[in-house]
Structures are given as structure tokens and as C-alpha cells.
Amino acid sequence: MSMTYKGKTALITGASSGLGAEFAEQLAAAGANLILVARREDRLLKLTNELGKKYGVKASHIAFDLSSPNSGEELEKLLAAKGFQVDILVNNAGFATNATLLNEDRNKVREEIQLNVGTLVDLTVGLTPQMVARNFGVIINVASTAAFQPVSNMAVYAATKSFVLSFTQAIWGELQNKNIKVLAICPGATESEFWEVAGMGSVSRKGFQTPKEVVSNALREVGRRNNNPYLVSGIKNRVLARSIKFMPTKMVIKMVGKMFEPKASGL
């Protein structure tokens, strides 16, 4: 990690566990001040206190639900009221639903799209001009290896991550000459609460990456002088993501869909 983060302020969404908590840990270790955002205030408070004391940085938290419309703009107003400026934006908050389309909960799907796509875009649009004005900024959007192919039984999730990947690459191009570093990190299977939230708590964790590995890879890549617009975390995941391109689409849809088939869908 060659970039200097000391004294900069990082806003991390979905920061109460998993990748979000690990981004907070590693950025604080590099000297960044923290603004941690998630719904679970008890966890946020504990993590904020721990990291502030451990690394001697300023650490704040905002308990906030980003899955509702206009939540990105409302969060920005809170930040402004508290006098915060954001130098590093980590759009990590997101979740998946593991169900066939016929069994999806419409309200849950709306929240999934809002959180994974709507709020991510809104925060990026809202905070980037401040970074450009200060001639420094880092934007890391958490995508997924699910972005590289359709995923039956997780159709909405995969589609949202495809959006995140495309969106991030586009703004990487737009901000190349603005001293703003942009990266979409694409983890594969990672040890986190993702699986429980998606209703897949019984899935085998063999071969999963750790949050530490994923975040280290992301910060190493974004710290490069001329970083790539996206990074698939892990050699095996990169090989799989590339190989998908050379397989017939129908085969890919059937193969991947089988991997995520709900245990008791009734369909």
C-alpha cells in the first residue's frame, strides 16, 4: 500500500462486520480517520472505540439504514452537519437473496437493489465533487465475481454487481486526470455473514478467502501508480472469471445456477 492515508478520512458503509470491518481496520492502521456506517449501532460503537484507541485515529460512527430511497442524500446531510469531509469512500454495504424469481420477496428485492446499486451510486455522485475540489480521493466499490455471469437463483444480486462493475470502470475512466483513484474489488467466496443473510448458512467454507486477504488486495491495487479499474481477488477467482468468457452462455447459466440452487425452493 504505497498511497499515504495518514490524516485522510474514510467513509465505510456496511462497516459492522466482514469486509467493511476489515477495511476499517486496515485503513486505520495506515493512519486514516474513520466514519463507519451500518445499521447495527452496538457493533459500530464497539469497533469505533477499538480502532480509535488501537491506532490513535479519529473514529466516528453513524447508525443508518442505507437500503431506503434517498438514504444516500440523507447520510450526506448528516456528514455535513457534523462537519465531516470524506477523502476515501468505500461502498461496501450490500446483501444477496438466494431464491428463485417466483419465490422472491418484492420488498426485500427493492431494498437489495437500492442498497447494492442506488445508494452506492448516490453516495459516489454526491461525494466525488468534494474529492475533485481537494485534488485527492479514493473510491472503492465492492463488486463480486458474480458480476461476470448471470447467476440463476441469485439473479438480482448478480445483476446488481454487474452494474457496480460497469459503473466503476466507467468512472475510473472519467476521473483518470482528476487525482481520484477508483477501483471495483471483485471478491469470490469470502468468510463473512453474507451467506447467513442470503439464507445459505450451511454452505461449505472450504477454500474461502478471508476479509483480510480481499482488503489487502484491494488496497494494494488502488495504491498502485496506475491501478486497474477492477481487481478479481485471488488467483483462482481470476482464472474462473476469465474462463467463463470462453464457455457457452447456456452452459454457464445452468452450471452456476445449480451451485446456488435453494435447498428447498419447491420449484
Given 161, 206, 212, 230, the catalytic residue: 161
161 a catalytic residue: yes
Buried/exposed code over 134-149 (b: 16+ C-beta within 10 A; e: otherwise): eebbbbbbbbbbbbbb
Helix axes 18-29, 41-55, angle to 10 degrees: 20
Could you tell me the sign of the dihedral formed by the alpha carbons of 142, 161, 146, 249, in that order?
negative
**In this structure, what are the phi and psi dihedrals at residue 94, rounded to the nearest 5 degrees?**
175, 165
Sign of CA dihedral 73, 154, 198, 218: negative
Number of C-beta neighbours around residue 43 at 10 A:
17
User: Phi and psi (nearest 5°) for 217?
Assistant: -65, -40
Question: Is 178 marked active-site?
Answer: no
Place of cell 427493492: 110
Nearest in space to 167 (alpha carbons), one of 229, 239, 103: 229
CA dihedral 81, 128, 144, 260 (to 10 degrees): 50
5, 157, 181, 230: the active-site residue: 157
Residue pair 218/140 in contact (Cβ under 8 Å)? The answer is yes
Residue 192 DSSP one-character state: S
Q: How far apart, in Å, do the first and last CA atoms of the chain sit?
A: 48
CB-based contact 137:179 (threshold 8 Å): yes
Active site residues: 157, 161
